[in-house]
Structure formats: structure tokens, C-alpha cells
């Protein structure tokens, strides 16, 4: 048995899972950038922070975002590991077109802003783990 190949496959699998399930990292970033805390009130209530950020409203307006994010990260990871960077543009195009109607009819510009920031954070997370997987495959 070729243990090097098994080790590489393990790295690719673990990095792929880490890329796919980066939702807590993306959500933490979204909460962090939109948190409106007054001076001296460092321990703001989570519900108030989410309402200020608009995450609750965005979740109602764009249902399924968690699954879209997981699939997006898996697709980006696969594109990087397989050496198909053009596929990343295809993923972004499909995501943008798929959400266009929801974003265009949304009553808030904050929803679009959260969509863009979340997409970039998701891509960076998947790209980081994709780089790890690519090194394991090509090394």
C-alpha cells in the first residue's frame, strides 16, 4: 500500500470538509463587520446585534443561503484542487444570476452588501483550503 498516496488523499478529504463547512467562519465575519456597539456596552445582546447587522432580515429574504454557501465552497475547492480556475468564475456567475431576482427586489441595500461580503469570505475560506488540497495533490 502506498502510504504517501493515502496521506495525500486524507489531506484532500480533510481540507475539502474544512472548506465545505466554513459557514461558522463566514457568519462570524458577517456578525463582526456589522456589529453596532455603543461605547461602554461591549456585551451587546446577540439578538440586537443580529438585528442591527441585518442577518435576520437577510436570512428571511434569502432562504437557503447556508446550503448555497456550502455548495459554493465545495465547487470552488474542487475547481482549485483539480486545476480548473475558470470554474470559479462559473460558480460565481451561477450564484449571482441565481440570486439576482432576490437581491433586486429586496427592500434593503444591506442585503446586497451582506451577499457580497459573505461571498468573498466564503471564496477566501474555500480558496485557502483549496490551496492546501492542491499542494497535497500536486506535491
| Prediction pTM value | 0.77
pLDDT at 48: 56
pLDDT above 80: residue 8: yes
Cα–Cα distance, 96 to 12 (Å, whole number): 28
pLDDT above 90: residue 11: yes
pLDDT above 90: residue 40: no
Amino acid at each position: 500500500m502506498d502510504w504517501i498516496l493515502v496521506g495525500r488523499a486524507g489531506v484532500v478529504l480533510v481540507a475539502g470538509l474544512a472548506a465545505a463547512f466554513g459557514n461558522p467562519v463566514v457568519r462570524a465575519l458577517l456578525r463582526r463587520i456589522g456589529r453596532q456597539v455603543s461605547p461602554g456596552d461591549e456585551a451587546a445582546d446577540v439578538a440586537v446585534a443580529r438585528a442591527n447587522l441585518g442577518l435576520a432580515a437577510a436570512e428571511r429574504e434569502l432562504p437557503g443561503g447556508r446550503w448555497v454557501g456550502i455548495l459554493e465552497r465545495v465547487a470552488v475547492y474542487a475547481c482549485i484542487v483539480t486545476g480548473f480556475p475558470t470554474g470559479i468564475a462559473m460558480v460565481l456567475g451561477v450564484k449571482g444570476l441565481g440570486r439576482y431576482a432576490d437581491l433586486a427586489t429586496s427592500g434593503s441595500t444591506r442585503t446586497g452588501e451582506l451577499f457580497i461580503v459573505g461571498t468573498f469570505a466564503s471564496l477566501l475560506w474555500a480558496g485557502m483550503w483549496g490551496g492546501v488540497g492542491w499542494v497535497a495533490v500536486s506535491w
